Structure 1
């Protein structure tokens, strides 16, 4: 047994011995993840080796700065870890530059914006109700308060309105355009965004937090050499720890707003010291491990399975009479308008959760409900696919969702009634499916079908 493994083994022994309350809660979470059908778009399963690295002795190391330019001594081993993570991030995405220190994609976005812009500068991002993200200029975020935020939306088919993007950009000349979404099920045309950005002299930021795994697996077009800068989280689809990345392709040496400093240098300074102090060394070790897995052939197979499963899930739900936004999906995400069934997103979410199925409420275009209620439901196939489920199981999953949603009676926006027999039947079916496709300790389980 190696030194690091011995430390973790002893740590687990002491935890069980001296803190049974915490141990019990952690054991409960393992069982919950094993026995719950997580049909969510915002998460993926981390391989046990990733979890091991995230709990490493690097948690005892404090660092500021970068390799060969640290503000603390004693970082020799971590220097190697960070270099490994950077090289693996570049390899996974075909990037020329990578920064692995951001604590999240949100903090990565903040670093980009505060490095390229001044207070009051104009930014253009996807409206939150159209599937955008808080950090893309929402009024609830500092990005919508510190900058002049304009928002583009969707056309009548629910596709990004690229003509509106171009019109707003020409009229308002934003300094930064953001191409990215947290609830958008279709392919994003980065080339069209870059053409608009070049026309108006704007920087283009691609936020691929939700689709990074599909990008790395070749299942979605990559923005790396089209956007000036690309950001992502490492846990939503990459099977990594909580954290973010900043990536740059061919524009790594493009000059920033001062006309002197390369974008790669600006991003280094933008993370530290501009917006973040010490990084999390153990999280960066976990990123390094996860990114190594991302570069393996099995991950490409997983990416293809995620995409095909999402299409199958969407088709099955539509066949059962549910209103699938945009009529389908190009990625891992399926969005439903549950208001047409007399439900709110909150009621749908809680009714499904009571049956052991996880999916989250989500606002949809034209939504009149608050974000805590919402009129939509967002589902995803990341974890289903990691467990080894294939297209036959997507029909079963759709039927389970349907069995719950068609038997729910909403009592206002928050309360509902669901027959106990329906709930028990759904719970039993979920238990059977989870038993047949266990979370078996592997990052990628073999598929049930091709």
Structure 2
């Protein structure tokens, strides 16, 4: 047990090294991914991984928890400061388990959820049939306006009055516009429903004050702690003290056992970094980069769902500009030249979700590398060049060289 990884398991060590090299040598533009700092990596690779800590600080079911109690309290206190929440649970292993905690705390099986349709930008955990949320609860879903790509809040309210849900879920995985949290809260109150705002994708943007916050508006707020916030990978639940006990019980023992304390440490470190003034500069640049990318795409003839973005992601509908290119084909062609994004369904989807009609493009990861608007214009032009001529070897070689140049100039980790 005393040997280094390279001696104990060279196969895993080699795979880890190859993944490190892949991240360094490609441009990660998947909207839900980011690059954490060396400090977060260090925290997550500590002896805290050995410690069971079922329960909460000061109320554990195991001994020897005094130090992990300190780490979890730091994560909680920093999260409260970042988002202005009365109560925070930092233990969920993912954003999906954070949503599960709210459902388990406030619903009974068979209760009703109203949420955004997956093909219109929603998320599996908001009630999709293949997910536990769609199997345990009755689900109705709202959509974006097919003409504008924006949510129709009047239609959402009408659906709520007809369906009479117990919970209305706002938030998305691929909706490029800001949610009107207050409007949805008013709709929820009007039908006697709770409002769960899932800010998974904009957690960091909200913390930095560059995106509207649902905290203090929605009854419950959940989020991911790794996308735009760059902390340890996992989830978080924020709520008023009124619901604190119900939420904590739904997380543990309701939905999971012992927390991953090394991940909680990674959350604590990432939250501390997000409290620094420089993080707000980063978050603003994430949004500026996305808007720059949107403008270039429009100029080059790409169709964007809703015409642009308010945050860190764009959703490109290829059906008009590239009718013979499906999203999966675009994803593969771009990955071949070192630009990594993901295929994605679009509103009014006509293709299979395994090779849909769109691609989702995100700016958090490349902004972490140091990209500004000039670099985004270069990358955006390269993306369109490949989409316009995916089989042109000269284009692919030129774009590949440009990606290599950018990766060398803006490394993820500098040692």
What TM-score comes out, normalization by structure 1 length?
0.89
Counterparts in 2 of 1:209-228, with a 5 A limit? Answer: 209-228=200-219
In structure 2, the partner of 1:56 is: 46
Cα deviation, residue 69, structure 1:
1.4
Deviation string 1:120-144 (CA, Å, 9 cap, x unpaired) is: 1111000111100011111121211
RMSD: 1.4
Give the Cα–Cα distance (whole angstroms) in 2 for the partners of residues 441 and 215 of structure 1: 28
Does 1:284 find its partner at 2:247? Answer: no
Q: Distance in 2 between matches of 1:354 and 1:287?
A: 33
List structure 1 runs of 4+ shifted beyond 6 angstroms.
Answer: none
C-alpha displacement at 1:24, in angstroms?
A: 2.1
Please show how residues 129-208 of structure 1 align to structure 2 within 5 Å.
129-155=119-145, 156-208=147-199
Match of 1:346 in 2: 328
| Match among 321, 333, 338 for residue 356 of structure 1 | 338
Cα displacement string for residues 112-164 of structure 1 (whole angstroms, at most 9, x for unaligned residues): 11110111111100011110001111112121121110101111211111111
For residues 414 and 137 of structure 2, the distance between their equivalents in structure 1, rounded to whole angstroms, comes to 45
1:310-349 to 2 correspondence within 5 Å? 310-340=290-320, 341=322, 342-349=324-331
User: Which residue does 2:405 correspond to in 1?
Assistant: 432
> 2:366 matched to 1:384?
yes
- Taking the aligned partners of 2:278 and 2:405, their CA distance within structure 1 comes to 26
Q: 2:101 aligns with which of 103, 111, 123?
A: 111
1:414 is matched with none
| Other structure's SS at 1:267 match | helix
- Is the CA contact (8 Å cut-off) linking 1:310 and 1:329 kept in structure 2? yes
Residue 210 of structure 1 aligns to a residue in which SS? helix
Give runs of aligned pairs for residues 251-330 of structure 1, distance below 5 A.
252-253=240-241, 262-330=242-310
Q: How many residues align?
A: 412
SS of equivalent to 2:280: helix
1:224 is paired with a residue whose SS is coil
* Paired residues of 1:47 and 1:441 also in contact (CA < 8 A): no
Residue 240 of structure 1 corresponds to 231
Unaligned ranges ≥5, structure 1: 1-9, 254-261, 409-417, 443-450
Contact preservation (8 Å) 2:71, 2:268:
yes
Residue equivalent to 1:100: 90
Alignment-derived partner of residue 4 in structure 1: none
Match of 1:245, SS?
Answer: strand
By how many angstroms is 1:104 displaced?
0.2
Distance in 2 (alpha carbons) for counterparts of 1:441 and 1:245: 30
Q: Deviations over 1:240-290 (max 9, x none)?
A: 222100012xxx14xxxxxxxx31110011101111111101100110000
Q: TM-score, normalised by structure 2?
A: 0.97
- Deviation of the 1:441 alpha carbon: 4.5
Distance 1:402 1:110 in 2: 39
Which stretches in structure 2 are left out of the alignment for 5+ residues? none
The answer to whether 1:127 aligns with 2:117 is: yes
Query: Does the 8 Å CA contact 2:230/2:270 hold for their aligned counterparts?
Result: yes
